Amino acid sequence: VKHAEDLRWHKNLTAADLVDQYENVGFQSVNVARAAEAITRMYRADAKIFLTFTSNMVTSGLRGFFAQLIELGIVDGVVTTVGGLEEDIMKASGEKFSIGRFTEDDVELYENGINRVGNLLVQNESYMKFEDKMKPLLTKAYEKKNRWTPSDLFEFIGETLTDKHSILYQAQKQDVPVFCPAITDGSFGFHLYLFQQNHDDFVIDVVKDFKNIVQTTTHEDKKGVIALGGSISKHHALLACLLNGGIDYAVYMTTAKSTSGSMSGATTKEAKSWGKIKDDSDAATVHGDVSITFPLVMSKVLQTLHREGHIE
Amino acid sequence: VKHAEDLRWHKNLTAADLVDQYENVGFQSVNVARAAEAITRMYRADAKIFLTFTSNMVTSGLRGFFAQLIELGIVDGVVTTVGGLEEDIMKASGEKFSIGRFTEDDVELYENGINRVGNLLVQNESYMKFEDKMKPLLTKAYEKKNRWTPSDLFEFIGETLTDKHSILYQAQKQDVPVFCPAITDGSFGFHLYLFQQNHDDFVIDVVKDFKNIVQTTTHEDKKGVIALGGSISKHHALLACLLNGGIDYAVYMTTAKSTSGSMSGATTKEAKSWGKIKDDSDAATVHGDVSITFPLVMSKVLQTLHREGHIE
Amino acid sequence: VKHAEDLRWHKNLTAADLVDQYENVGFQSVNVARAAEAITRMYRADAKIFLTFTSNMVTSGLRGFFAQLIELGIVDGVVTTVGGLEEDIMKASGEKFSIGRFTEDDVELYENGINRVGNLLVQNESYMKFEDKMKPLLTKAYEKKNRWTPSDLFEFIGETLTDKHSILYQAQKQDVPVFCPAITDGSFGFHLYLFQQNHDDFVIDVVKDFKNIVQTTTHEDKKGVIALGGSISKHHALLACLLNGGIDYAVYMTTAKSTSGSMSGATTKEAKSWGKIKDDSDAATVHGDVSITFPLVMSKVLQTLHREGHIE
Amino acid sequence: VKHAEDLRWHKNLTAADLVDQYENVGFQSVNVARAAEAITRMYRADAKIFLTFTSNMVTSGLRGFFAQLIELGIVDGVVTTVGGLEEDIMKASGEKFSIGRFTEDDVELYENGINRVGNLLVQNESYMKFEDKMKPLLTKAYEKKNRWTPSDLFEFIGETLTDKHSILYQAQKQDVPVFCPAITDGSFGFHLYLFQQNHDDFVIDVVKDFKNIVQTTTHEDKKGVIALGGSISKHHALLACLLNGGIDYAVYMTTAKSTSGSMSGATTKEAKSWGKIKDDSDAATVHGDVSITFPLVMSKVLQTLHREGHIE
């Protein structure tokens, strides 16, 4: 039996030490420690690991952290929505997003050509520059073939980037596929549509990419999912694994509640019901803002993997 | 200035009367009344109205209510995720989902071949019967053409149904397009993939459907969005309207918080920043479970439209 | 087994009809129906019923509804915080609170002498008039005796009121004790302190009121708690019942989550663990804004009790 | 203008470094950094600082952390509910609470004499031992005088303790008053009531303690409030400061939403409206579980104060 222990600060307290103490604090802090343990276990078991996240996390500074995790070899597949990939490309082109407040005057922002995503601010100009980039990219892609899956297209784009903090850059370097089942749901979709107007045989083959994600793992592989936020990204990774017999490890981090029956709020309690998770240590749900909890969890995971010689 | 008024129960209190009283109660009840007003205004202004919802709502009894709203001519376009459409088809085939508890023993459910969506229970058998239906449907579709948009395909399926409580049935009857930007994110995706294995030229053209949703409205049309829950469904409808100059009316109903910067939690405050919403009466955000709040809001809207002779 | 049923609107849909349909919709709507059933059962079983609520609900239009429930004989004891009782007195004196928006400019409000409670606005002037009332009231009370329990004092104040929408007025009429364990936590506390400065032997005996609340019920009584929101009001009613052997019926309605381990978010799952709740029909937790859910639940309860001849 | 910066892990990443990076990540992580800044500023300005928390936080391992903060001289006054103080005394007597799961079988726990607070488990036995301690303590207190304020009584109890991780022990050592406006709302209340049965002139003078909390600060003092969770603890500290002209610094950390108009969910936006907070850097609201966010925030604060030579 574990007991609640009095948390103590000391100078030089590392983030990993703090997570160690969380294990004995109570409430969601315990789940932070459990999530770190579950991720460490899935890594050690050589599981295929899907990382899923929502677009707004790429708007935030988590974007470079996701790239770092891919670079470090933690991730075997990414599933996300297209808005985040657009912003990864913008940032790789030098665009900067600024930090504002949730309570900004939205009408004033509008008049200044600024879009608000929570407390992050994106200039319309960044989107316009993105447009200028897209047309030549699609033209070049079309020269190679007329039928692309989303994951192929994002690999192709990753090859054109040079920013080591970029998700698409690192994914391409590390041969990590980036799945995006709703590729038209963003500015990207608009550019694909404009391009197709003049190239009627140009198609995005989402069906083929379903095959690709299913074939990313096998029935024999151990499979893990780290789902940040909800949305189709989380659902898609779980579905792909289920078709190969289910997941062995699951970490969900979310602000959504389970009480409305949504996918975003669904907990790993449900995941356990799929029959493959045998040990409570292999699954954890952390309720809280991912921008706080995920770096904390991974600080502990990465310190452990570093000590064990898995990463530098 | 409106004052808080003491709410009183009386016998024969209609749902619409209750919403009338909510206008003067305070906190989220006020937003229920405001949402009813905003929807009434968008209907009266002859706006093109998008209704968006998440899959779990179709698992619930809201499914038949959505169908009724389409039947009554309230809706001009639907955007949703594929899981809900699968379940609409299952229900149209006579499948029944049962009502359980959020605290069910998930391992026991698993052993009994039952899937849990919040407090709703779906039998594996329902999915299997769905599979049996899909293959001949796709074969028939393929005989007509090899390149389908999601909205065309769902219209085609709607034609095969006979259940007046079905979303796809009513949508097809009323010429209301059903958009589903992530059509592969469900059992549906798996069947499309199996079919494509033997019919390599079979493609789902999501890019073309982006054109379709953009062309559902024009710059000149007044445009309204009723977004239930978040996810790409909400985002997609807003995006399609933005490309035609923005929305004039917005009602968001959600359990997500705005504090994590997610699309699901984004409020109509943000929508106002897009510059087209001129009157506070044209937008409302209701925080709460849609299974409670949406029928309440619409009770008031439909009663008003009925009294004004718009609907029977 | 209950199945999810398609919800249908029809003209003249009463609030109670809607709750009937909710029973088969899913997610939190089901809990609305279950809460109505649990409250009906506790009333029929002649249980002693505690109603607890937070101060902000009295700021809202629920205040008159609480008074109506007391008038109708539904409630045997009230537990609340002092801010709400202050506002009940203000409203009984003709003060009006207005309905604003959550996004009001708070600095501007401040400059206009207005306090914001969510989207409700209270003028400083209302507090000042309250002050003028308090001094003579306390003087009159002190003439009778120097040692008062909170529940005695609020009964004494209730006698001075004439507003039938007032909680304190109706409670006093119906001999329903109003418990307020933190009587100093508000403007009231300040006036008690000022009064005590000149009357050192004036004491508020909170310990005696603990005896009073414990003696409101007996071990033999069936006991029920309807807890709206959390806070010490909920905790206090539960505690008082526990000391008499536990509760038989429990309905909790809250926006708080259980995931942080707070009393506000604690569900009736926990209450079941106290060993007295035997039937699942005797307890329900509804997640959602009380200003929406409570009037809905009670519409169904009151309609049933009316039909059964219990109330007019 | 601050920009979103890509977060990077490095080995030996301290908790304080992580908070430094959070400043540029986005969403709630930014508020963690802002809260650290606001607390640092209130300390440097020599403000009188109230720390408020809910009982469940004392059930958790935060209890010893609160004691450490008092020991380090960060806190000038504590406001809390009585359940937490009971548990502080139990822990000081060697009782251990264990860490379980939110999904424990509550009926089984009941049968084993275990109470659940979220994912923390408290044995009935711990409460029984507490009872044995209370009677002699109250007898000894009564020998000194018959009229006690809550803060006096808790100071008296603190003197009897020897556990350096105890809140009451450290508070008494450091002359930090512990206010508890609802002292009867717990097991404590029951023992006070039993004691009063045989000692009718024994009274707890809550009115006098209102004077005490108001006199903890003056109009001239800078005043700061760190409110963890909501409840009357938060409200009481704010009220006491308001009567002395308002607060200059405010940090609120909570899982409650502002959308239901509750005190627990009220943000520092409201606090700014009281007219004294001049600089945005002096207030911050962090949405999230305090068991995660508070130690993080304070890691940064304490490291800064350590570097500046304020603490060892």
**Beta strands A120-123 and A98-99, pairing class:** antiparallel
Q: Which residue of D has its CA nearest to C104?
A: D270
DSSP code, position A277: -
Task: Indicate the average pLDDT of chain B.
Answer: 94
Under-50 pLDDT residues of chain C: none
Quick check: A223 pLDDT over 70? yes
* Contact by Cβ (8 Å): A59, A122: yes
Assess whether pLDDT exceeds 90 at residue D263: no
Whether the per-residue pLDDT at A191 is higher than 80: the answer is: yes
Contacts C25 to B, Cβ<8 Å: 60-62, 291, 295
Give the mean pLDDT of chain D.
94
Output DSSP code: residue A14.
B
∠ Cα C157 C161 C166 (to 5°): 100
CA–CA separation, D219 vs D213, rounded Å?
13
Residue type, D123: Q
Give A16-75 pLDDT, tens digit per residue. 999 999 999 999 999 999 999 999 999 999 999 999 999 999 999 999 999 999 999 999
**Banded pLDDT at D172 (limits 50, 70, 90):** very high
The reported pLDDT for the residue numbered C235 is 94
Residue A90 amino acid letter: M
Q: Are the CB atoms for C141 and C148 separated by under 8 Å?
A: yes
Contact partners for chain A, using 3 or more CB pairs closer than 8 A, are B, C, D
pLDDT over 80 (residue D151): yes
Q: Three-state DSSP class for D274?
A: coil
Alpha helices in chain B (DSSP H): 15-22, 28-44, 55-59, 62-71, 82-92, 106-111, 124-144, 150-159, 167-173, 187-198, 206-215, 231-242, 268-272, 290-307
Both tokens of C244, joined, read 């008499």
A235-249, B255-269, C223-237: lowest mean pLDDT where? B255-269
CA D171/CA D37 separation, integer angstroms: 25
Percent of chain D with pLDDT over 70: 98
Which one of B109, B207, B289 has the shortest CB-CB distance to A184? B207
The alpha carbon of A97 is separated from its chain's Cα centroid by a whole number of angstroms, namely 19
Instruction: Give residue C276's pLDDT.
Output: 67
- Rounded Cα distance between A124 and A127, Å, is 5
Rounded to whole angstroms, the Cα distance separating A192 from A153 reads: 11
> Which structure tokens are listed for B144?
């007509």
C284: left (phi over 0), alpha (psi -120 to 50) or beta: beta
Token output for A196: 């197709």
Check pLDDT > 90 for residue B213.
Answer: yes
- What are the tens digits of pLDDT across the range B5-56? 999 999 999 999 999 999 999 999 999 999 999 999 999 999 999 999 999 9
Contacts for B79 with CB less than 8 Å, ≥ 6 apart: B50, B51, B52, B178, B179, B180, B181, B213, B233, B234, B236, B237
Lowest mean pLDDT among B270-279, C178-187, C280-289, D287-296: B270-279
- Give the per-residue pLDDT at B204: 98
The strand pair at A223-228 and A114-117 is best described as: unpaired
Mean pLDDT of B185-195: 96
* 8 Å CB contact between A161 and A169: yes
Instruction: Return the residue matching tokens 């009971």.
Output: D86
- A59 vs A87: CA distance, rounded Å: 6
Please name every residue paired with D121 in a beta bridge, in sequence order, or none if there are none.
D98, D116
Residues B261, A120: C-beta atoms closer than 8 Å: yes
Residues of chain D contacting B, Cβ within 8 Å: 26-28, 103, 257, 259-261, 287
Instruction: Tell me the two tokens of residue D130.
Output: 């507490």
Q: What secondary structure does DSSP assign to B18-54, as a single string?
A: HHHHHTTT-THHHHHHHHHHHHHHHHHTT-EEEEEE-
Residues A196, B19: Cα–Cα separation, whole Å: 47
Candidates A133, A276, A278, A300; catalytic one: A276
Contact D295 A103 (CB under 8 A): no
Q: Please, are residues D114 and D87 in contact by the beta-carbon 8 Å criterion?
A: no
CB atoms under 10 Å from CB of B127, counted, come to 16
Nearest to A262 among B54, B107, B184 (CB): B54
Q: What mean pLDDT is predicted for residues D292-309?
A: 98
Range with the largest mean pLDDT of A171-180, B244-253, B270-279: A171-180
- Taking the C-alpha atoms of residue D156 and residue D160, their distance in angstroms, rounded to an integer, is 7
Collect all residues of chain A within an 8 Å Cβ-Cβ radius of residue C261: 26-27
pLDDT at A42 (0 to 100): 96
- Rounded distance, CA A266 to CA A259, Å? 9
Q: Is B197 exposed, middle or buried (0-12, 13-18, 19+ CB in 10 A)?
A: exposed
Give CA angle at B301 (B296, B305), nearest 5°: 150
- Chain B hits for C63, CB-CB cut-off 8 Å, are 4, 6
The CA distance from C241 to the nearest CA of chain A, in Å, is 27
How many percent of chain A have pLDDT more than 90? 83
Structure tokens at B175: 């010429």
Which of B27, B261, B287 minimises the CB distance to D26?
B261
Per-residue confidence band for D266, with pLDDT thresholds at 50, 70 and 90: confident
Q: Which of C96, C276, C278, C300 is catalytic?
A: C276
Cβ–Cβ gap C24/B99 under 8 Å: yes
pLDDT at C298: 98
CB distance A303 to A18 below 8 Å: no
Q: Best of A124, A185, A192, A292 to disrupt the B interface by mutation (most B CBs within 10 Å)? A: A185
Select the residue of D103, D260, D287 nearest B259 (Cβ to Cβ).
Answer: D287
Angstrom CA distances, C252 to C38, D26, D42, stand at 11, 35, 39
Measure CB to CB from residue B204 to each of A107, A206, A258 and give the nearest one: A206
**Complex prediction ipTM:** 0.95
- Is residue A9 within 8 Å of residue D299, measured between CB atoms? yes
Answer whether residue B85 shows pLDDT above 90. Answer: yes
pLDDT (0 to 100) of residue D274: 65
Tell if the CB–CB gap between C261 and A26 is shorter than 8 Å: yes
Specify the pLDDT at position B273: 65
Q: What residues in B contact D287, CB-CB < 8 Å?
A: 257, 259-260
Q: Quote the pTM value.
A: 0.96
Q: For residue A28, which residues of chain C lie inside 8 Å, CB to CB?
A: 259-260
Active site includes A223? no
Residue D115: pLDDT above 90?
no
- CA–CA separation, B33 and B24 (whole Å): 9
- C neighbour chains, 3+ CB pairs within 8 Å: A, B, D
CA distance B197 to A208: 9
Q: Residue D135 corresponds to which amino acid?
A: K
Band (pLDDT 50/70/90 cuts) for residue D57 is very high
Q: What is the mean pLDDT of residues D173-185?
A: 98
* Chain position carrying tokens 């299952």: B90
Please give the Cα distance from D294 to D53 (Å, whole number).
11
pLDDT in tens, D187-221: 999 999 999 999 999 999 999 999 999 999 999 99
Res. D312 pLDDT band, cuts 50 70 90 = confident
Task: For residue A46, give both structure tokens.
Answer: 């050589």
Q: How many CB pairs under 8 A join B and C?
A: 211
- Residue A202 pLDDT > 80: yes
Mean pLDDT, rounded, for D154-164: 98
Residue B228's nearest CA partner among B250, B245, B206 is B250
DSSP codes, B235-250? HHHHHHHHTTT--SEE
The answer on pLDDT for A276 being more than 80 is: no
How many DSSP H helices and E strands does chain C contain?
14, 11
Q: Which of C114-123, D80-89, D173-182 has the lowest mean pLDDT?
A: C114-123
Contact B60 C269 (CB under 8 A): no
| Separation CA B208–CA B193 (nearest Å) | 19
pLDDT of residue B274: 64
